[in-house]
Amino acid sequence: KARTWVGCLGFKHSSPMPSSFIGNALRGTFFLIFGLWWSVKYPLKYLRRKANAEDQPSYGAQRLEVLEGTVKAFFALAGILAEQFAPAGPHLLLYSAETHSWTDLTPWHYTTMYLFFLLSGVVEVVSHSPLKLPLGLDHLALAIALLMEGGKCIGNVGAALGGHLRCLLATGIFAGALCALLEVFIRDHLVLELFRTSSFLLQGSWFWQMGFVLSPPWGGPGWDPADRGNFVFLTMCFCWHYAGALAVMAANAVASRWYVVGEEHQEGSRNELCQS
């Protein structure tokens, strides 16, 4: 019985790794694979289509938007520094080794909030630069920043630790479901496709996180469900997972842009060779 398919994956049944961790890891991998694949597929599709340049706003409006984005990003950065390095702030310390507990997480909470506004400012600057990000991405970034801010206001009510983790997961899933429902009517909309991708990446990495929290692979009893700090930290951690998912998507989009530009360059030089 020990030589089932689980053994094929390199895990010995006699190892202390609990099966519920393996289950969460496999579920997470399922979503991660699709998220990662889509984070390459959709930028490539968009770049190949050579986004139509006619609905570009005038240059004057663009300069104003870039300035606004810069100011927003600067303020958010100032906010992060202020929250962290205020006299009573945590000074980038998350876990106090002395008291074996989390430091006061409120400044971290607001640091996370400012982080997403920083992101929103950066997206606003980049989307009005000559790089021509798809229209609507700046508003999506703002909406994400607000949802993250709002979600944290109401998120500290969870009863049990497992339920709290699943509740966070459910918000990610429902965001993806809503997005897929919109895509029934609005097909081939890049912003929706990217949002769905980010929702899948979030689900994937959160399943892994749930595995580590509830049944660690090294066999411990899981995190302490009585410590309220764990609830607050995991809520914040959920936001960081989403920030990570967005970072992975941005990296993949940049990589696929390089690939497409390189391809075009090759084609261009080949054409030149043919013509000469």
Please, what is the minimum distance in Å from the beta carbon of residue 128 to a second copy? 13
Q: How far is the CB of 232 from a second copy (least distance, A)?
A: 13
Q: How far is the CB of 85 from a second copy (least distance, A)?
A: 7
Work out whether 59 is an interface residue with a second copy (CB under 8 A).
Answer: no
One of 47, 77, 82, 243 touching a second copy (CB under 8 A): 82
8 touches a second copy by CB under 8 A: no
Q: Is 136 in the site for a second copy (CB under 8 A)?
A: yes
Is residue 243 near a second copy by the rule CB under 8 A?
no
| Phi, psi for 101 (deg, rounded to 5) | -150, 170
Q: What does R_g of the chain's alpha carbons equal in angstroms?
A: 22
- Residues 12-41, mask of contacts with a second copy (x by CB under 8 A): -x-----xx-xx--xx--x--xx--x---x
CB of 159 to a second copy, least distance (A): 9
Tokens 């969870």 -> residue: 158
Q: Does residue 47 touch a second copy according to CB under 8 A?
A: no
Per-residue b or e along 89-107, where b marks 16 or more CB atoms closer than 10 Å to that residue's CB: bbeeeeeeeeeeebbebeb
Q: Does 124 engage in binding with a second copy (CB under 8 A)?
A: no
Instruction: Kindly indicate which of the ranges 145-153, 217-225, 247-255, 263-271 contains the residues binding a second copy, using the contact rule CB under 8 A.
Output: 145-153
Q: Does 146 bind a second copy (CB under 8 A)?
A: yes
d(CA 196, CA 199): 5
Q: Taking CB under 8 A as the rule, does residue 122 contact a second copy?
A: no
172 to 231, contacts with a second copy by CB under 8 A?
173-174, 176-178, 180-181, 183-187, 191
Residue 269: CB minimum distance to a second copy, A: 25
Which residue(s) pair with 248 in the sheet? none
Using rule CB under 8 A, residue 88 touches a second copy: yes
Nearest partner of 43 among 262, 185, 256, judged by Cα: 256
Nearer Cβ to a second copy, position 1 or 100?
Answer: 1
Indicate which single residue of 66, 77, 135, 243 sits in contact with a second copy (rule: CB under 8 A). 135
> Footprint of a second copy on this chain (CB under 8 A)?
1-2, 4-6, 13, 19-20, 22-23, 26-27, 30, 33-34, 37, 41, 64, 68, 72, 75-76, 79, 81-83, 85-88, 106-107, 110, 117, 135-136, 139-140, 142-143, 146-147, 149-150, 153-154, 156, 163, 166-167, 169-170, 173-174, 176-178, 180-181, 183-187, 191
